Copies of this chain bind each other. A is one copy, B any other.
Amino acid sequence: MIRRIAAVAIRRDSAAQQGSVEDQVYSELRDRFMSGVYLPGEVLTLRNLAANLGVSPMPVRQAVRCLIVEGALEMLPNRTMQVPRMTRDRLAELLSVRRALEGLATEAACRVVTPRQILAIEKIHALSHKAFESGEMRRSLVMNQRFHFALYEAAQSSVLMPMIQGLWLQAGPFMHLALSSTAGMRWDGTHHLELLQALRDGDPTEARLAIERDINKTAEALLVTPHFAAGRTEAPERRVARG
């Protein structure tokens, strides 16, 4: 049974989308994972994804393989692919590595960031804060992500950036599942403001500490959610992919 709910053509966004079809598929799927389109435990199939993206299965195969290598997708022994469930241990590890890598990136960024970039980051923070105040949690999460990535991009590191993206990619589905509801989420942008001040002062160490505090805050919010998988023996609850 092939359910084509909305066969959105992959070229929808940005008229002059360039690159091969596979690159577009890969990019689109990355965005979807980071945006929480797919939920932990959800089962995806090549042909459904292809139909949903409006492309042939071929480019999807390779994009999906890459996502598996990155840990954003899991291949079960049955050869079926599913969005990995999250365990408390795994989340703690991800956050630990985030602290290390994003701390490094923040230090590097602080040393070379331009006033113009700082302004852009401030702007993104304002948007995130505004979205949070109006209860648009989804949008606030996305803007928060943009805030972090705008910062790390200033570091201009071709090593750190892909690794950090990989971490967000792995945590994406779970983060959106756990935080997209307003319940129990009392976020304040204190650490973001501290970071911005450190950037203006050109104080890498303080900037690093601010980011680490921000990640710790996220950790506190995430680790209390009841969304964790109990282990390898959890109930099936296999969600069928929507596309």
A residues near B (Cβ < 8 Å) are 22, 61-62, 65-66, 69-71, 90, 93-94, 96-97, 100-101, 104, 157-160, 162-163, 166, 170
Q: State how many angstroms separate the Cβ of A35 from the closest Cβ of chain B.
A: 20
A94 vs B96: C-alpha distance in the bound complex, in angstroms? 19
CA distance A158 to B162 in the complex (A): 18
Could you show 24 A-B contacts with beta carbons less than 8 Å apart? A62-B62, A62-B65, A65-B66, A66-B66, A66-B69, A69-B69, A69-B70, A71-B158, A71-B159, A90-B158, A90-B159, A93-B157, A93-B158, A93-B159, A93-B160, A94-B159, A97-B101, A97-B104, A97-B159, A97-B163, A100-B104, A159-B170, A163-B163, A163-B166
| CB of A211, distance to nearest CB on chain B (Å) | 14
Q: Which residues of B contact A159 (CB under 8 A)?
A: 71, 90, 93-94, 97, 170
- In the assembled complex, the CB of A196 is this many whole angstroms from the nearest CB of chain B, namely 24
The interface residues of chain B lying within 8 Å CB-to-CB of A97 are: 101, 104, 159-160, 163
Give the Cβ gap from A115 to chain B, nearest Cβ, in Å: 24
Question: How many Å from the CB of A193 to the closest CB on chain B?
Answer: 26
For the complex of A and B, the 7 pairs showing the least CB-CB separation, nearest first, are A93-B159, A100-B100, A66-B69, A62-B65, A62-B62, A66-B66, A93-B157
On chain B, the residues within 8 Å of A163 by CB distance are: 97, 163, 166
Q: How far is the CB of A86 from chain B (nearest CB, A)?
A: 11
